C-alpha cells in the first residue's frame, strides 16, 4: 500500500477533500491531509483564492512543502487545483517521490526544475472545457508533461466544471469524479 499526501484546493480542506482521503484510507493507503489554509474553508472559489492571494501563494506553497517534513520520502503526492502547486513541487524536487496525481491543474515543469524526474509516474486529470484547466493553459502544461515524462497520463473528462471531484461542492460531477477515483486507486495499487 502507498503512503499519500493530499493537498486541498482553493476553497480549503472541505468535506469533499476529506471524503476523498477517507476513500483512499479504506483502500488500505496511509493518507496525510495537511490544511494549507489553517482551518479556513470558503463558500466560494473566489473567496478562497482571495485568501491565498492575501496570504501569498509563496506562503501557501511553503506550508505545503513543510507538511512533508518528518514524513518518509517515499510519498505519492495528490493535489486538487491550488493543491497541485505543492504536490507538483514535492514530486519534482523531493527525492524518493513515488508518484504524483495532479487533479484540475498542472503548471509547467519549468516552475520547479529542468525536467520531470524519470522515476516518478504522474497522472493529470481535468475537464476539457474547464475555464481554469483548459482556459488558462494548465492542459497545455499537462500535455507537455505527458510528452516529456516516461510514465505519464493525461485524462480529460467532458465538461466545464472546476472542482468537479469534490463531493461537497455544487460543481461536483459524480460520473467524472468516480472515474478519477478509480484511476487514482488503480495508480496507487500499481505503485504501492
**pLDDT tens figures, 61-87:** 999 999 999 999 999 999 999 999 999
**pLDDT tens figures, 9-64:** 999 999 999 999 999 999 999 999 999 999 999 999 999 999 999 999 999 999 99
Identify the residue whose cell numbers are 516516461. Answer: 150
Phi, psi of 180 (to 5 degrees): -60, -50
**pLDDT tens figures, 164-185:** 999 999 999 999 999 999 999 9
**At CA 64, angle to CA 62 and CA 68, rounded to 5?**
110
CA–CA distance, 86 with 113 (Å, rounded to integer): 14
Please give the domain boundaries of the chain with CATH numbers for all domains.
Answer: 3-191 (3.40.50.1820)
Amino acid at each position: 500500500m502507498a503512503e499519500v499526501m493530499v493537498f486541498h484546493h482553493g476553497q480549503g480542506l472541505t468535506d469533499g477533500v476529506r471524503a476523498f482521503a477517507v476513500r483512499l484510507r479504506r483502500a488500505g493507503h496511509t493518507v496525510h491531509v495537511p490544511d494549507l489554509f489553517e482551518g479556513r474553508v470558503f463558500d466560494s472559489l473566489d473567496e478562497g483564492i482571495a485568501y491565498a492571494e492575501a496570504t501569498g501563494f509563496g506562503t501557501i506553497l511553503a506550508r505545503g512543502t513543510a507538511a512533508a517534513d518528518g514524513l518518509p520520502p517515499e510519498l505519492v503526492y495528490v493535489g486538487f487545483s491550488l493543491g497541485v502547486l505543492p504536490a507538483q513541487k514535492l514530486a519534482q524536487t523531493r527525492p524518493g517521490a513515488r508518484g504524483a496525481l495532479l487533479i484540475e491543474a498542472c503548471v509547467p515543469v519549468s516552475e520547479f526544475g529542468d525536467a520531470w524526474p524519470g522515476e516518478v509516474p504522474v497522472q493529470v486529470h481535468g475537464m476539457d472545457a474547464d475555464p481554469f484547466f483548459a482556459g488558462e493553459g494548465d492542459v497545455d502544461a499537462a500535455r507537455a508533461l505527458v510528452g516529456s515524462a516516461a510514465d505519464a497520463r493525461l485524462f480529460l473528462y467532458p465538461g466545464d466544471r472546476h472542482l468537479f471531484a469534490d463531493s461537497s461542492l455544487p460543481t461536483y460531477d459524480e460520473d467524472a469524479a468516480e472515474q478519477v477515483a478509480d484511476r487514482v486507486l488503480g495508480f496507487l495499487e500499481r505503485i504501492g
